[in-house]
Structure 1
Amino acid sequence: MTVEIVAESAVPVGLPPASMIERMTLILDAFDGATPTLTLLGLAERTGLPRSTVHRILDQMIRLRWLAHTPGGYRLGLRVLELGGLAAEHNELREVVSPLLYDLSQRTGLVGHLAVLDNREVLVLERAGGRSRSAIPTRVGGRLPAHCTAVGKALLATLDPGVAEASLRAGTGPRTPHSINDRVELHRELARIRNRQGVAVDTEELMTGVGCVAVPIRGRGVALAAISLSGTVDGERAALDTVRLARALSEVATEAGRALAPRQGRLR
């Protein structure tokens, strides 16, 4: 009986993860509220990885700011805190805006998007399906070039020209024959958007056969995100009713901005 128990316990429960991402995840998951600091030995015991492997990975994670040295060993680094703050910000935006966006999508039959600006790209936080959803291959978590999307241009137009210019350097090539490919013309477009109180329009600039209207969501004057409505357009169909859609989007953006204003200290 004793021999059987020893033999059974000697059988490994599972092989250690082979990929670097899985090993890094094991190390990050080893930390918790009760043990915010761990030694090399503690990390090896909690992860089940060889100490030499943990030490090698720790050096890389410290260099990349996932972890940091502390007198008692290692702790989570600033990169984890930064990403956690971004996740909280995005969750609050989605919590407030998503119901409004879905209702607007249902009323118009168009695809709604909620997005934030990240350098030269926009990150899609929410997508609300409409009748044209199959023709518009966007997804939550997807990234799109800011210069040829309505949401991106709506957000770029809220920045100082110098800051917007920094966001437009390199990699701003055309997506379709309708994309703006000249930096001077792009700045003219941003000026036109400012003159329209933030309303941005994409007429087949990102995808052929797809049009879009967008407006920024402001909280205490600061643009937190942008929302849009997209639909299919072609030579046989009239363009999107920009005025009507801009009015509906602006109403939703105003309502969302009022709801987000008290939380803005956490969103910035």
Structure 2
Amino acid sequence: MSEPGVRVLGRACAVLDCFTEAEPCLGVADIRQRTGLPATTVARIVTTLVQEGLLVREGDDYRVGLRVLVWSAPARAGSSLLGVARPFVEQLRDVTGESAGLYVRQDHTRVLVEAASSHHSVIYRGYVGQVLPLHAGAAGKCFMAFDGQALTAAATAGFERYTDSTVVERDRLDEQLALVRERGWAYSESEREVGLNSVGAPIIGFGGRPEAVLAIGGPSTRLDQAAAERVGPIVAATANAIAARMGHVPTEERVDV
């Protein structure tokens, strides 16, 4: 069993994870619903986070406090992944013409940690800190295809249907993940949002699991199946190049920017 202090820290993180750019202000009832924690526990944690400046109360709602900004700069500066990946993300955007992003896994979700927006007028516009599901979208399927723990976490959370194209049947999903493993990259069509397609490839770390996933997203009018077949190997090669720069693959497989 976890130590009490560790358990409290985990619950505090769960509370902070409830806040997103789309929903920056939440009430106690919202937090309780998202975390599944008892009302008394949520109230106690929220009070402590307010005292520490990590949450700010505005009427009956709460938002993340500015204190977290003190940690964001050193976190980005100290991340070897972001430092290495940033120029590759921008290069992938320039080569494919579509918005490119870098995702890391957080339990049954993926979080966008680096982004480069397309220069087209009609684009997919993600934002750093955006939290998305694993089962809907190419990036998430790369995590699940190469990491059994990611697949288990997603299955435990449940496969929510976002569009008619969202794959929620386990047998169909397993077939898709097998194809991702076979070709080294994933393609999804309108799985999370109608008209939005994506291509992703894993950045394999030590142990053979994805340390992150590199992906591009764009409208279905441009990023269709034919385009995916053309750019999929490019996304995979760029992901391998990032892994190479981080020392995760042999030197002869490296691809420089």
Mapped to 1, the partners of 2:224 and 2:236 lie a distance apart of 22
Deviations 1:205-240 (A, max 9, x none): 111111111100113433211101111114x98545
Residue 162 of structure 2 contacts residue 191 of structure 2 at CA under 8 Å; is this kept in 1?
Answer: yes
Which whole-Å CA distance do the structure 2 matches of 1:88 and 1:238 have between them? 34
- Residue 122 of structure 1 and its aligned partner are, at CA, apart by 0.5
Q: Are residues 1:212 and 2:198 paired?
A: yes
- Are 1:95 and 2:95 matched, yes or no? no
1:180 paired residue number: 167
Deviation at 1:131, TM superposition (A): 3.4
Question: Counterparts of 1:123 and 1:90 in 2: how far apart (Å)?
Answer: 18
Q: 1:166 Cα shift? A: 3.7
Normalization by structure 2: what TM-score?
0.63
Structure 1 gap segments, 5+ residues each: 1-18, 27-82, 263-268
Deviation readout 1:130-172 (Å, 9 max, x if unpaired): 0357642421101001101111101110023x76234322332
Contact in 1 for aligned 2:187/2:200 (Cα 8 Å) = yes
Any conservation in 1 of the 2:142–2:201 contact (CA below 8 Å)? Answer: yes
Larger Rg computed on CA atoms = 1
- Structure-2 separation of matches of 1:261 and 1:118: 23
Q: Distance in 1 between matches of 2:50 and 2:121?
A: 34
Paired residues in the alignment total: 185
Deviations 1:34-93 (A, max 9, x none): xxxxxxxxxxxxxxxxxxxxxxxxxxxxxxxxxxxxxxxxxxxxxxxxx99xx4798221
Deviation (angstroms), 1:174: 1.0
- Paired with 1:90 and 1:110, the residues of 2 have a C-alpha distance of 28
SS of alignment partner, residue 96 of structure 1: helix
Q: Secondary structure at the match of 1:97?
A: helix
Contact 1:233 1:240 in 2 (8 A): no
| TM-score, normalised via structure 1 length | 0.61
User: Which residues of structure 2 form unaligned runs of 5+?
Assistant: 1-46, 55-70, 249-257
Q: Give the Å deviation of 1:244.
A: 2.0
What letter is aligned with 1:209? G
Asked if residue 194 in structure 1 is aligned to residue 188 in structure 2, the reply is: no
Q: 1:257 to 1:108 in 2, by over 3 A?
A: same
Of 1, 20, 24 in structure 1, the residue corresponding to residue 52 of structure 2 is 24
Q: 1:205 to 1:88 in 2, by over 3 A?
A: same
Look up the match of 1:169.
156
Match of 1:249 in 2: 235
- Give secondary structure in 2 for the equivalent of 1:247: helix
Amino acid at match of 1:110: E
Q: Distance in 1 between matches of 2:121 and 2:130?
A: 15
**Counterparts in 2 of 1:95-114, with a 5 A limit?**
95-114=83-102
Aligned residue for 2:113?
125
Label 1:163 to 1:228 Cα distance change in 2 as closer, same or farther (>3 A): closer
Aligned match of 1:63: none
CA distance in 2, matches of 1:115, 1:90: 17
Name segments (4+ residues, structure 1) moved above 6 Å.
Answer: none
Distance (Å, rounded) in 1 between the aligned partners of 2:53 and 2:158: 32
Distance 1:242 1:170 in 2: 29
Identical pairs, percent: 24
Are the aligned partners of 1:90 and 1:125 in contact in 2 as well (CA < 8 Å)?
no
CA RMSD of aligned residues (A): 3.0
Partner of 1:78: none
Partners of 1:127 and 1:133 lie apart in 2 by 17
* Distance in 2 separating the partners of 1:258 and 1:104: 16
